[in-house]
Amino acid sequence: MEPVRIRKPRPGDGPALARMHRANAAYYASLAPELFRVPDEEGQEEFCEPRPEDNDGETTFAAVAEVGGELAGYLEARIEPPLDSARWQSNPDLAQPRLYINYVGTADAFKRRGVATKLVEAAEDWGRARGAAVAVCDTWLGSELSMPFWELRMGYTRKSVIFRKQL
């Protein structure tokens, strides 16, 4: 495989990002249709088109991975500042800047080839450079792709569970 190149998203990436996002959503929807859905295609390319405010470089970070000139992956992250109320909280993480990884997606043709690893490493480096002391993210427990990725490949540990109840 050609090397993975990480870069900032740029105008014109929207169509490839939309295709990747729909394919990733379809994976989750196939596993748990009661919890996930494939987003509407109409308008999604425009929605996925990079905007400067999505990547200000100080508090928000977005990156794409390219392999051989083809868009292979995408990541969004942000820095969460310490909470003013941290001294009254039981979670010590809340007293320090945190890197929150909001989204990681890989195009089907590039899954399990190091693309997401390079994206997460770039986000962690970015967060570290901005004072983040811890990185957090969430993923669906039923994913046979994302759970091993986060735990075994990236060294993240489970800390909490989000409960959900349909009303």
d(CA 57, CA 78): 9
> Given CA atoms 21, 22, 25, 26 in this order, what sign does their dihedral have?
negative
Look over the chain and give the mean of its residue pLDDT values, rounded to a whole number. 94
Q: What is the pLDDT of residues 140-153, one digit of tens each?
A: 999 999 999 999 99
What was the pLDDT predicted at 100? 97
What are the structural domain ranges in the chain? 4-153
Sheet of strand 134-137, all strands in order from the earlier edge strand to the far edge = 4-7, 60-67, 70-80, 98-106, 134-137
Which of 3.90.1150.10, 3.40.50.2300, 1.10.3720.10, 3.40.630.30 is the CATH number of 4-153?
3.40.630.30
58 exposure class (CB count in 10 Å sphere: 0-12, 13-18, 19+): exposed
What was the pLDDT predicted at 138? 93
Mean pLDDT of all residues in 75-88: 96
d(CA 144, CA 67): 24
Q: What is the pLDDT of residues 30-67, one digit of tens each?
A: 999 999 999 999 999 999 999 877 778 889 999 999 99
Reading the block at residue 64, the tokens are 């794409």
What was the pLDDT predicted at 38? 95
DSSP run (H or E) holding 147? helix 146-148
Q: What is the dihedral of CA 87, 89, 93, 98, to 10 degrees?
A: -90
